[in-house]
Structure 1
Amino acid sequence: MVKPPTVQKDLECTLEELCYGCMKKIKVTRDVLTNTGFVLMSLRQIIQEEEILIINVKPGWKKGTKITFEGMGNERPGTCPADITFVIAEKRHPLFQREGDNLKIVVEIPLLKALTGCEISIPLLGGENMTTLMIEDIIHPGYEKIIIGQGMTITEEEGKRGNLKVTFLVEFPTELTDEQRSDILSILEDSC
């Protein structure tokens, strides 16, 4: 018997679901052949049937990972049932971006703190806050801090996670008084 092409569907997951793993239940409606009638004159009829498919999303799965359910697609006379393949797609996260096993976040920081140092609370995936990030350097364009082990779960290495890359966006004032300009000019002239 001929097997029809695989039916492919996206399975959207949040970064949290892909980092920590989860169970997804997907309702699928498919055409199924049934036998009706007499023994000698068997008639085949197509009816629609609902199935619940369960996918255990493993920690660390990446966009593009495929999960196939063999024979769970539509049935047609003279063919085998089609397979259904779900392809992992990442939902956009409001704070984090994924880069392989690492996460990236952009944090805004006032100019004063960028120049003088500060302690910053960085949000972590899953809602926790990390308040111990002490910055004593001058934050300049392209400045990045890496927090070890706060990225995505690494599938191949149990218990290990990638890193969190924190990039800083310095908030500049939109207006300065003449006195502020003068003060800044004198301070910066001394540093050159």
Structure 2
Amino acid sequence: MKIVDEILKIDVVPGWKKDTIITFPGKGNQVQRKSAAADLIIGVEEKPHAIFKREGNDLITTHKISLSEVLTGKTIKVTTLDRREIEASVTEIVEPDNEIVIQDEGMPSANRPGEKGNLIIKFDIVFPSQLSTLQKCQLRKIFNEVD
């Protein structure tokens, strides 16, 4: 028996998911002299991303939005994994469980070339930490809740 150094090439396919297995037949250790070398098996792992969470082929991100923007609208900019900037307009009043779904801007499908998941934008509503008496009064007038 002898030790052999060999460089093996892995062409990573965009969209591979956690636990994808790559097998190199006969490239593992040889336990006994007359036995064949074992297969070398490599498993893919995903690192957590600071902005996106993956669910299947969908990418999910959370965007902070102020209470004022929740009520009046806003254009949101999201930088994708491939560094493109996508704009999404919030035109309706955002409720706590609302989300924007942008078709075909998620992860590519490893099994279906050309197909992608969706980009899902969820909202984290930032409420003001305090309001003056005047601001409270003005809000009551706006919402027709005058005492």
TM-score, normalised relative to structure 1: 0.69
Tell me the alpha carbon deviations over residues 21-62 of structure 1, each in whole angstroms, 9 at most, x when there is no partner: xxxxxxxxxxxx23xxxxxxxxxxxx4x43322111112221
Instruction: State the AA in 2 paired with 1:87.
Output: G
Once the two structures are superposed, the pairs formed by residues 160-171 of structure 1 within 5 Å of their partners are 160-171=115-126
Distance 2:38 2:142 in 1: 73
What is the aligned counterpart of 2:93 among 138, 141, 156? 138
Distance 2:54 2:82 in 1: 14
CA RMSD across the alignment: 1.8
Q: 1:148 matched to which residue of 2? A: 103
What is the aligned counterpart of 1:63 among 15, 18, 30? 18
What is the aligned counterpart of 2:140 among 172, 181, 185? 185
Corresponding residue SS for 1:51: coil
Instruction: State the AA in 2 paired with 1:73.
Output: G
CA shift at 1:158, angstroms?
2.2
Q: 2:73 matched to which residue of 1? A: 117
**How many residues matched?**
145
Name the % identity: 35
Q: Larger Cα Rg: Structure 1 or Structure 2? A: 1
Tell me the alpha carbon deviations over residues 47-105 of structure 1, each in whole angstroms, 9 at most, x when there is no partner: 4x433221111122211110011122222334322211111111101111111111111
Instruction: State the AA in 2 paired with 1:80.
Output: A
Distance 2:79 2:134 in 1: 37
Q: 1:108 matched to which residue of 2? A: 64
More strand by share: 1
Distance 1:62 1:183 in 2: 52
For structure 1, which segment, 152-161 or 168-177, has the greater mean C-alpha deviation from structure 2 after superposition?
152-161
Distance 2:17 2:117 in 1: 13
Distance 2:52 2:92 in 1: 24
CA shift at 1:188, angstroms?
2.8
Distance 2:54 2:28 in 1: 32
Corresponding residue SS for 1:155: coil
What is the aligned counterpart of 1:96 among 52, 68, 78? 52
Distance 1:53 1:176 in 2: 63
Q: 1:42 matched to which residue of 2? A: none
Flag structure 2 segments of 5+ consecutive residues without an equivalent: none
CA shift at 1:190, angstroms?
4.2
TM-score, normalised relative to structure 2: 0.88
Corresponding residue SS for 2:6: strand
Corresponding residue SS for 1:157: coil
Distance 2:74 2:40 in 1: 52
